[in-house]
Chains A and B, each alone.
Chain A
Amino acid sequence: MPAERFVRALREAGWATLVVAGLSFPIIAYRAEPDFNNLLALQPRWPLFWQFCAAAFLLRFLLAFWSGDETKAKAPREKNWPKLPWLGPLALVFLTIYPLAVVALLGPQAALKWVDTYGVQILIYVLLGWGLNITVGLAGLLDLGYAAFYAVGAYAYALLAPATGLGFWALLPVCGLLAAFWGFCIGFPILRLRGDYLAIVTLAFAEIVRIVLINWDVVTHGEAGLFGFPGLNFFGLPFIPGPRGFAAHFGLPFQGIQKQIFLYYLVLVLALLANLVSLRLRRLPLGRAWEALREDEIACRALGLDTRNIKLTAFALGAFFAGIAGCLFALRQGFVSPSAFTFSESALILAIVVLGGGGSQLGVAVAAVFLVGASELLRELTFLKSVFGENFDPAQYRMLLVGLAMVAMMNFRPRGLVSTRAPTIKLGATS
């Protein structure tokens, strides 16, 4: 038996190595670099290539050898999470005290990063994930261009705030509505498309938006982007030092972090509101129609549902959330440029939804914390420089993390972190 197993492992390792060699030949064996004349020169890197092949062979061989005779695919056994009714309230309490606790523990200077990057940024992604969850998770319309609506929201704020003089309270819904309007517009031409075709068109739409933002110089200032627009204020009190600022009004010492803490709570409240709306909509005819559309469009039509309206509302509401998130993004950065709204942004948000297990609010939130939080944590791993050399930038490997998370998910929870679907109405509860 061991001999047979050895041969089989050898064979599998051979195949795996061939695949790795084929894939890495064009990217690893040669590196294209511009020389002095700005022409591309090919730099051979054969040792690296052989290292890759050897690593693939060895790993695959060990894996095949030790995993025994299980050549047949096992049906993945997904265990349901235990029901944890206290999880929601606990998370809420944690989120509420989080920024204050961090400031108390680390002091206002060191806490800035924890409130801003790990707090505000992740919450914005949670909001984006919940928005896209409506289009993709509930209605089942694969949208690869979600960042376009995010961009519309951000640019709407950056352009309208100086032009109209309105504050962000007034502009927040405007940003959402503008993005929803675009969601509606993109919804129309693709009503008849399904699946892959729909995904491709949304992808193209997002590229169009980005390219318009780059090239419409007079309005958007191209790649340079927009900055210097009015920032956040506390019900009319700006976050500035001096007698007219927020700190002076409340008799507090001025600290830069006050603005971030206010933004944190603003995003938190909006995200919770979005969550509440999503959860309630799911129990209304509209939300049920979205899920029915995902399950079977033809059956929907046979029951008299107007699938056109269902698709349009799913696109528009998902886009509305993205517009709000875009506005918050502009407030957080104080600067918007097209480079923030590339395809990888759409892909990241989609990854959050897929990893979370389409249709589940909690799963999406956890996935956002994991994917965004972990990729930020990568930046912190500066000690890796001592291993891989000074030129190593761990943040560059962000997407690798997304990929690893996806592979792990396919193996262990192929339908996402939270894959069980709770019925929107239960007989036990109503009768």
Chain B
Amino acid sequence: MNWLDDPILRVDHLTMRFGGLLAVNDVSFAAGRGDITALIGPNGAGKTTLFNCLTGFYQPTAGRIAFSSEKLDAEKIETLTRSARKHDGETFLLERMADHEIVRKARLARTFQNIRLFQGMSALENLMIAQDEALSRAAGLSFIGLLGLPSWRRAEQAAVDRAVAWLDRIGLKKRADDPAGSLPYGDQRRLEIARAMCTKPALLCLDEPAAGLNAAESHGLAELLRGIRDQGETSILLIEHDMSVVMRISDHVVVLDYGQKIADGSPREVREDPAVIAAYLGVEEQEEAVEEAVLSGGGA
């Protein structure tokens, strides 16, 4: 019950309205530190919209998103909410922050449902851009970098080492210099995750990372995510349709339907929740597939 005792993220009464459509309707949940939290729900449930609110791409209509990579303290959140500030250096109110601040200061990183790599740039360059914060500081408004001073070269080498370590981990070291757009689909998915990890996030938000992967690839992905969690520095929030992945790796599942939270708990609890089963059964084309996935996930 990490998400109750030691949350890294707490979402309170979050609402996002597009004209007459309530894409996210009064959703509250918490994600535990060191957990893999899965966010599931039928198509159009509002999962991606919720992500966009968390990462500053949308300004939520109402609600509060509190985040802290150190310790989320209820009293501190209240104090911060009453003040006009965005953060106190430790606790962050994400709904008040711009997207790039959320990445840099609060340390949240994300991937996209449809992969967004820098297609024309090499895999290595993709990972270098993700380390812009450290590199920009070392380049000193580009002047130190232009002169090629040793401090810059050291920083660059460190960034390359880090990038190469990640490329190695996702099995792409051989293709480091190839354009990202020329990589196979599964490799692109993993490269996007590695790129997000290069920003050194405290919380990694993944939007359907297993979409379009075959069984072997999603197995590898599950291992990768578990590895990231077990290193202990990054918690994971994951949107996923592939129930076998969800059931295998997640510590905590939150279920959305029509913008509302309908269940929240351990994978076992959620799987048996009648509301969840009804929600999934209501979506006809997914009916059998999901039921099967839920059952087989239980066996694993």
Query: Which A residues lie at the B interface, using CB under 8 A?
Result: 277, 280-281, 283-286, 288-289, 291-292, 295-296, 298-307, 421, 423-428, 430-431
Query: Which B residues lie at the A interface, using CB under 8 A?
Result: 55, 57, 99-100, 102-104, 109-112, 116-122, 124-125, 128-130, 132-133, 135-136, 139, 142, 145-146, 148, 157, 160, 164, 173, 176-177, 179, 195-196, 199
Asked whether B136 lies within 8 Å of A303 as measured between CB atoms, the reply is: no
Residues of A within 8 A of B57 (CB): 298, 301-302
Residues of A within 8 A of B129 (CB): 285, 288-289, 292, 300, 303, 305
A288 to B116, CA, bound (A): 16
Residues of A within 8 A of B117 (CB): 296, 299
Asked whether B139 lies within 8 Å of A286 as measured between CB atoms, the reply is: yes
Given A299-B112, A302-B99, A427-B124, A284:B146 Cβ within 8 A = yes
A331 to B57, CA, bound (A): 49
Cβ distance A212 to chain B, nearest Cβ, rounded Å? 32
Asked whether B112 lies within 8 Å of A425 as measured between CB atoms, the reply is: no
From A298, A421, A426, B116 is in contact (CB under 8 Å) with: A298
Asked whether A302 lies within 8 Å of B112 as measured between CB atoms, the reply is: yes
Asked whether B128 lies within 8 Å of A425 as measured between CB atoms, the reply is: yes
Given A286-B136, A299-B112, A299-B116, A426:B177 Cβ within 8 A = yes
Given A285-B135, A303-B132, A292:B146 Cβ within 8 A = no
Given A423-B122, A425-B128, A284:B199 Cβ within 8 A = no
Chain A, Cβ-Cβ closest to B110: A302
Number of A-B contacts (CB under 8 A): 116
A202 to B252, CA, bound (A): 51
Asked whether A304 lies within 8 Å of B103 as measured between CB atoms, the reply is: yes
Given A303-B129, A306-B100, A430:B160 Cβ within 8 A = yes
Residues of B within 8 A of A428 (CB): 177
What 7 pairs across the A-B complex have the smallest Cβ distances? A304-B103, A295-B118, A299-B116, A284-B145, A423-B122, A427-B176, A285-B135
Asked whether A423 lies within 8 Å of B142 as measured between CB atoms, the reply is: no
Cβ distance A93 to chain B, nearest Cβ, rounded Å? 25
Residues of A within 8 A of B196 (CB): 302-303
A299 to B125, CA, bound (A): 14
From A277, A289, A296, A430, B132 is in contact (CB under 8 Å) with: A289
Asked whether A304 lies within 8 Å of B139 as measured between CB atoms, the reply is: no
Asked whether A280 lies within 8 Å of B146 as measured between CB atoms, the reply is: yes
Given A296-B116, A423-B121, A303:B103 Cβ within 8 A = yes
Q: A288-B129, A426-B176, A427-B173 are in contact. List 17 more A-B contacts (CB 8 A).
A: A283-B145, A284-B142, A285-B129, A286-B145, A288-B132, A289-B132, A291-B121, A298-B116, A301-B57, A302-B55, A303-B195, A303-B196, A304-B133, A423-B121, A423-B125, A427-B176, A431-B160
